């Protein structure tokens, strides 16, 4: 199999933007395999694109190149970067869109928005290499100030897929922009306050609570969102009736409406709280 480049953008499917980027990449590497992850990210929604990219990239072969163009500040002083991890390379604006990727390598989670140093705080065996894309010989000229996806990111991703090392594209950098990731908070009574971090096409509400955050799935008593209560977890979407909660394929606990759309029913939005209570310990 040839090299792989994935694409994640907020460009939608009605215009020629995505096709233009693909044309540029195929002109540079006609043998590359182009794979669409998503082009219907909400316009300029950096956190959504970070979540969707993170949900998909790990299932691709090692050394794949992942191109992300969700870029509210295109044409500004924000940097265009290449980030290389032990398993993949990413080409993206330095605006936090790679936050999930970066935070997976950290010992401690980031709690506030800002530049993160890549020189320390990484888990054993983790390496992160970042390069500020400044070498214009890889760009499509002239560069449109409103379409860096076509004129900078796409040709750089294509050249990476041909085997050029990241350092060829610019100057190494030791810090990158990272956004804080939502995390559940544990309460004194043992309950856990989670938050909705993504709403998928089916209206399922994905929370920031993972299976590992709970003492045991069997110990979950109730899940409260808004004025609604859900009793425990089910294993599949086919179980139970009405609103249900289960551990989704990404290992996050999600809330679903059997045969319907939970987001519409609950008028839910990103950031809404979800309370998980556990069964009290039995007294001996």
What CATH code is carried by the domain that includes residue 50? 3.40.50.10790
Note every long-range contact of 10-15, with CB atoms under 8 Å and residues 24 or more positions apart, other chains counting.
10/39, 10/40, 10/41, 10/42, 10/43, 10/44, 10/45, 10/49, 10/69, 10/70, 11/39, 11/69, 11/149, 12/39, 12/40, 13/39, 13/40
Both 64 and 168 in one domain: the answer is yes
At which of 178, 207, 239 does a domain end?
Answer: 178
Cα–Cα distance for residue pair 102/123, rounded to 1 Å: 11
At which of 162, 178, 194 does a domain end?
Answer: 178
- Confidence band for 281, pLDDT divided at 50, 70 and 90: low
Both 126 and 19 in one domain: the answer is yes
Both 235 and 173 in one domain: the answer is no
Q: Residues 218-245: what's their mean pLDDT?
A: 89
Both 14 and 77 in one domain: the answer is yes
Res. 67: pLDDT tops 90: yes
- Confidence band for 217, pLDDT divided at 50, 70 and 90: low
Res. 186: pLDDT tops 80: yes
Asked if residue 122 belongs to a domain, the reply is yes
At which of 178, 204, 232 does a domain end?
Answer: 178
Q: Supply the pLDDT for residue 108.
A: 85
Q: Supply the pLDDT for residue 121.
A: 87
- Give DSSP secondary structure letters for 226-266: TTEEEES-BSSTTSSSSEEEEE-TTSEEEEEETTS-HHHHH
In 54-82, which positions are buried (b, 16+ CB within 10 angstroms) versus exposed (e)? bbbbeebeeebbbbbbbbeebeeeebbbb
**Which of 23-37, 61-75, 165-179, 228-242 is least confident?**
228-242
Asked if residue 162 belongs to a domain, the reply is yes
Domain boundaries, position 61: 4-178
Asked if residue 21 belongs to a domain, the reply is yes
Asked if residue 227 belongs to a domain, the reply is yes
Asked if residue 283 belongs to a domain, the reply is no
Q: Supply the pLDDT for residue 213.
A: 84
Q: Residues 67-77: what's their mean pLDDT?
A: 94
Q: Supply the pLDDT for residue 137.
A: 97
Q: 3-state class of 204 per DSSP?
A: coil
Both 28 and 104 in one domain: the answer is yes
Both 257 and 236 in one domain: the answer is yes
- Could you give the number of structural domains in the chain? 2
- Confidence band for 218, pLDDT divided at 50, 70 and 90: low
- Confidence band for 216, pLDDT divided at 50, 70 and 90: low
Both 155 and 213 in one domain: the answer is no
The tokens describing 259, both together, are 């045969």
Under a CB-based contact definition with an 8 Å cutoff, are residues 141 and 126 in contact?
Answer: no
Both 13 and 97 in one domain: the answer is yes
Looking at per-residue pLDDT, the higher value among 241 and 18 belongs to 18
- Confidence band for 174, pLDDT divided at 50, 70 and 90: very high
Both 160 and 198 in one domain: the answer is no
Q: Supply the pLDDT for residue 284.
A: 46
Q: Residues 8-21: what's their mean pLDDT?
A: 97
Res. 69: pLDDT tops 90: yes
Q: Residues 2-25: what's their mean pLDDT?
A: 97
Asked if residue 284 belongs to a domain, the reply is no
Q: Residues 107-122: what's their mean pLDDT?
A: 87
Res. 199: pLDDT tops 90: yes
Both 42 and 129 in one domain: the answer is yes
Indicate yes or no: pTM above 0.85.
Answer: yes
Both 133 and 265 in one domain: the answer is no
Helix (H) or strand (E) holding 103: helix 99-103
């Amino acid at each position: 199999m040839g090299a792989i480049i994935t694409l994640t953008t907020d460009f939608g499917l009605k215009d020629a933007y995505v096709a233009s980027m693909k044309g540029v990449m195929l002109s540079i590497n006609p043998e590359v395999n182009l794979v669409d992850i998503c082009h219907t990210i909400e316009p300029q929604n950096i956190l959504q694109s970070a979540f969707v990219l993170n949900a998909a990239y790990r299932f691709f072969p090692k050394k794949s190149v992942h191109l992300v163009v969700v870029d509210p500040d295109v044409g500004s002083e924000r940097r265009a970067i290449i980030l290389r991890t032990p398993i993949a390379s990413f080409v993206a604006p330095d605006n936090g869109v790679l936050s999930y990727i970066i935070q997976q390598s950290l010992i401690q989670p980031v709690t506030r928005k800002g530049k993160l140093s890549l020189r320390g705080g990484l888990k054993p065996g983790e390496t992160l290499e970042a390069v500020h894309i400044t070498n214009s010989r890889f760009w499509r000229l002239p560069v449109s100030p409103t379409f860096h996806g076509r004129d900078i990111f796409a040709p750089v991703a294509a050249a990476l897929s041909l085997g050029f090392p990241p350092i060829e594209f610019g100057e190494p950098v030791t810090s990158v922009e990272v956004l804080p990731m939502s995390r559940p908070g544990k309460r004194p009574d043992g309950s856990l306050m989670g938050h909705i971090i993504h709403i998928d096409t089916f209206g399922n509400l994905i929370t920031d609570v993972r299976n590992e955050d709970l003492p045991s799935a069997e110990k979950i008593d109730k899940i409260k969102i808004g004025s609604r209560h859900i009793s425990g977890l089910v294993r599949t979407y086919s179980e139970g009736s009405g609103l249900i909660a289960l551990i989704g394929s990404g290992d996050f606990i999600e809330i679903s409406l059997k045969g319907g759309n939970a987001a519409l029913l609950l008028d839910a939005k990103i950031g809404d709280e979800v309370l998980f209570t556990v069964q009290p310990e039995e007294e001996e």
